[in-house]
Amino acid sequence: MEEIKRLSRELVAHGAILDYYQDTMQIPNGNVVKWDFIKHNGAAAVVPVDEKGRLIMVRQYRNALERYTLEIPAGGLQTPEEPTMDAAARELEEETGYKAGEIELLLTIRTTVAFCNEKIDIYLARNLTPGSQHLDEDEYVQVKAYTVDELTEKIYAGEIQDSKTVAAVLAYKDRYCSNY
């Protein structure tokens, strides 16, 4: 495989949750090109399953889309070194009020590999204990339980387009609900 070489990386903007860089790259044919790079500290998400087998979802406004979305609970790591399992448990409790009696890794995704290094570890949470939400000051989150079939229908109808949620619901359905 031919080598691609980074000649330089310049910080263009530093944000609250990501940094934007412009990389100068030399590609195998010798051309020098500019590529955008978004550095993200990573995130964790969780598929909470209640005692009836329903998935606990959150509805919240997403400014980038200018609309409400239905998603699994998730959030960014507080530091790049924070264990993602801890972040998933924290986000579950903050956004839904539930605590998990059992939590295990379901899958890992990379959200936008063309220009961003964001990695999200997605966990499965069971044996839930209800409590109260602990939302950040900029969050307004509604919580509702859905069956896997209801969520699958919403995915294929285009009502759920969030990549982490689509991947998580379909992975959960395939691993825990399929009758082969």
Q: Would you please indicate which residues are annotated as catalytic (active-site) residues?
A: 137
- State which amino acid sits at residue 59: R
- State which amino acid sits at residue 44: A
List the beta bridge partners of residue 44: 75, 121
Contact 33, 25 (CB under 8 A): yes
CA distance 151 to 20: 34
Contact 21, 7 (CB under 8 A): no
Ramachandran bin of 158, using left for φ above 0, alpha for ψ from -120 to 50, beta for the remaining angles: left
CA dist list (Å): 63 to 114, 119, 138: 22, 21, 11
